[in-house]
Chains A and B, each alone.
Chain A
């Protein structure tokens, strides 16, 4: 997927953009024409001609007065419609892309990365509404005005044209350069302030309990002082673009007056030539702001491009085999790693018969989670293979593999919605009876029954209203609903206290029934009873 495919308009949005553009040019054009015809009207009236001579100008002045408002209205509506259409599409495409990358290609657990990405996607709105549209409208209107003035008096036309060129090229350049400079000197300060703020807010309980709030506030104040100082320093270069714009337009007016006074023009023509450039200040006025926003948008687009260019961690075959009936698993000479990094997983042979129970253990860093990622087709192996029912996993459709093999991890994501919705995710057409059944098998049923809103209880952001054990049991109930034949349990009890951990493991094995269970853990002592098959992984070598 290329960047252009996610930010460029499709046909529908392009139509609306064109409408916005045309009405924008007409609105700005009316604004210039209003001043030009008024100037002509007044200086022609000074010669005291019959009123009839002035009628056309009078009607034109009124028409331009009305036209400006109406066209501007259309421009705004059409522009917003187009931009929001684009945003919907960009968001959807990014979701697609994240689906391809998750979880190995992009660390989605990092909150700041996610937040950043969210803002970057929203830059599409600014790109069209606040950069492209205003700049194109201003450029087209200014060019037309210059052509009109040039037709009346070429020298003044050249002068105004020069002023417009400076305004369209020098002003944005200067604005962007100063904005970039400011951004560079401020970015570090902003990052520091954000890091300190989030750190102190997240560890607020510990800090309050230990009376360390003052230190934290001092540290935050230091970072804050540095940021404010950087912002104050960069203020000196702000507004240079706007000032240059005033100089350009004012200069064109003055030189128009000087040249016009010497070229024996009729009074009305002279008034038009001298006063029309004044209207350009209004038209070109949006350019400095657009340049400033453009600098920010460019940064966002660069980051989106990076996400789009990241390689897919797992690729599917062009024509996948049908999923075999047999659910026996066989791992053979497997090696895997991330990106260009070293191998983090090396494992010889593991045979798991249908319905088998395997414990795979090893210290952290021995590649247990990597093995889970390979088994679930979230990551391609570098060498060796995993067979499901005699077929190489990489030759099967990844989604089908994941319908047969399920995963429970230490930090299963719980969505900020009701218990019911969280469960239905695994099996959208399940009845409430089935949901209760799964909850009871995960030993969460009694708890949910006691809640006043039962299945309708909202679990909070990241399941914050549940305890760690309850969250894992909810995730397990969800896993049971999905009817996988093979369950991979990757450190399912990591964040739990020992008693809860033992009880959960006991229940996991009990509820798994005839399913195959592969338990990956670095704390085998928590396993309630001996398992028939134990594989030990060590860092980068198999024992």
Chain B
């Protein structure tokens, strides 16, 4: 793990400012540590050697202590505020980029994992900013100041520290490697473990129904135990390096103390200097030792920020920026030789598919489930990556255009539409945000959703509506747009025949181009053409319906 990822500094201005403030505060606390040591030594030596009073020294010390407390507080305030700003920047950038990557990449990323990253994951950056980074600054400022000061009093002691101190960064690097491996391993194991536990709890009802739930208790314990053994193996290594670090630091302090003591006996050194050296020696090692400890605490946050940066650095699909999309009201849309393979699947979902969609046509796609009907719609919208072949309008490939402008030509009713918590009207207006109340009502009517009131709440992910109602709201959402082409995936499942006939008549009257996935005879009869996809999607044939 890099102590400080430069990419993070580039991405977030707050991180740069914070680093600057941390350095100022770190230098100030280093100075106060030295002043405190000098005053303490002066006070003790004064009493022991001269029997002098300590009032002035005590006031000075009190001021130093107050100053140190103030710096500790300020450091934390600055750190928390910086963490808040950096997290906020990353959250927004990641969400925006993830949505730009598109739904297909998202499903690969597992949208729930990304949600966790945006919330809990990035919150792990708090200890990184609040503890690790300030400590990093202290570790690079305080030892230098302390050694410098010690050198003015006792060169030999300063030399001892100077020789042993560089050993610590060497071990730090070793710890770093071990901790990095450990953190990676732990992250991986934790993810597997959490996924297993989540899968077991999520499917608990199914396990119970098959009488297998009790067996899972043992499995959960076993998996966790296996994780414990594996993780203790790596911990032993990680802790071993911090053991060496600890030993090095405390033995060096002991060596300095003994050396100073012996030189005192020989009369080569004054008590006051000796005391300063004694008080300062541990202070030279302390920041580095604590850095080692904070390292573990902040590893999760760093892993999260790396994950965030990884998402941010994933290239977005290649789209052009042409805005002159041909008007599909008067231009035909064609798919030629389109092949789509979903990530993780060996066989293509759609293989060498051709289709021409002429303006004003109603074309029905039929075929058994899994034959790639929905994929045709997704390919037209550019929601899936097309492996070969292309979607073409007016002699230009869809990928040449700015994606938003391209998609404006289409309105889509997916097989499982996602609704957002809010009113029915708000969901319908996703199609056209400036639609009037009357237009919302008309489109609900046209979608056969007369029974739904625009003000009705749909609940989280449309939970308050039935599956059929959700689909009708989605249909209304598509009908309200002024898109040239409607892409409908089973638009009227769950409607009675009469309403269905009205919906079809409405579409016919509007003269829009429609490409729909359909099984119901009413739609197949109403279509100008029926395209049947084969099960394997390798062969399909076009049936002409007279």
Contacts and interface: CB of A to CB of B under 8 A. Distances in A.
A412 B274 CA distance: 76
B80 A470 contact: no
B369 A70 contact: no
Nearest to B344: A465
Contacts, number: 435
Interface string B190-227: 00001101111111111111111110111011001101
Interface stretch (A148-156, A228-236, A347-355, A383-391): A228-236
B207 A425 contact: yes
Contacts of A494: 467
A452 B107 contact: no
A64 interface: yes
A368 interface: no
Interface in B351-392: 369-370, 378, 381, 383
B84 interface: yes
Contact of B278 (A42, A62, A65, A224): A42
A228 B416 CA distance: 34
Given A220-B92, A243-B72, A254-B58, A46 B271 contact: yes
B507 interface: no
Contacts of B235: 76-77, 80
Interface stretch (A135-143, A195-203, A431-439, A530-538): A195-203
A482 interface: yes
A97 B87 CA distance: 36
Given A194-B118, A261-B47, A261-B53, A232 B204 contact: no
B57 A225 contact: no
B228 A231 contact: no
A79 to B, nearest CB: 10
Contacts of A462: 202
Interface string A61-105: 110111011101100110011001101110111011011001100
A257 B57 contact: yes
Interface stretch (A113-121, A298-306, A318-326, A331-339): A113-121
A406 interface: yes
A310 interface: no
Interface string B45-66: 0011100011101100110111
Interface stretch (B329-337, B406-414, B526-534): B406-414
Contact of A197 (B119, B218, B412): B119
A239 B71 CA distance: 10
Contact of A42 (B49, B271, B378): B271
A211 B28 CA distance: 52
A210 interface: yes
A38 interface: yes
Given A42-B271, A88-B221, A235-B77, A72 B40 contact: no
A499 interface: yes
Contact of B198 (A41, A115, A253, A447): A115
B209 A247 contact: no
Contacts of B236: 77
B79 to A, nearest CB: 8
Contact of B414 (A49, A205, A403): A205
B421 A199 contact: yes
B519 A204 contact: no
A343 interface: no
A132 interface: no
B54 A208 contact: no
Interface stretch (A3-11, A266-274, A507-515): A266-274
Given A217-B92, A244-B69, A73 B119 contact: no
B72 A239 contact: yes
Contact of A403 (B211, B477, B519): B211
A543 interface: no
A58 B257 CA distance: 9
A497 B369 CA distance: 9
Nearest to B477: A210
A102 B204 contact: yes
B396 interface: no
Contact of B61 (A236, A253, A426, A498): A253
Contacts of A541: none
Given A64-B254, A73-B240, A243 B73 contact: yes
Given A260-B47, A270-B44, A452-B347, A95 B200 contact: yes
Contacts of B494: 523
A147 interface: no
B10 interface: no
Interface stretch (B109-117, B143-151, B301-309, B442-450): B109-117
Nearest to B119: A194
Contacts of B275: 42-43, 271
Interface string B465-507: 0110000001001000100000000100110000000000000
Contact of A70 (B53, B243, B431, B536): B243
B283 to A, nearest CB: 10
Given A84-B224, A242-B72, A253-B40, A215 B210 contact: no
Nearest to A201: B111
B99 A54 contact: no
A91 B224 contact: yes
B221 A242 contact: no
A162 to B, nearest CB: 15
B81 A235 contact: yes
A184 B543 CA distance: 64
A402 B211 contact: yes
A261 B54 contact: yes
Contact of B201 (A35, A114, A239): A114
Contacts of A108: 201-202, 204-205
Contact of B224 (A87, A99, A204): A87
B85 interface: yes
B217 to A, nearest CB: 5
Contacts of B251: 62, 65-66
A416 interface: yes
Residue in B69, B231, B253, B433 with the greatest tally of chain A CB atoms within 10 Å: B69
A102 B209 CA distance: 10
A43 B212 CA distance: 72
A402 B258 contact: no
A451 B347 CA distance: 8
Contact of A413 (B206, B271, B383, B481): B206
A470 B370 contact: yes
Nearest to B224: A88
B490 to A, nearest CB: 5
A247 B40 contact: no
Query: Top 9 A-B pairs ranked by shortest CB distance?
Result: A239-B76, A250-B65, A203-B418, A235-B80, A69-B246, A84-B228, A231-B84, A499-B519, A88-B224
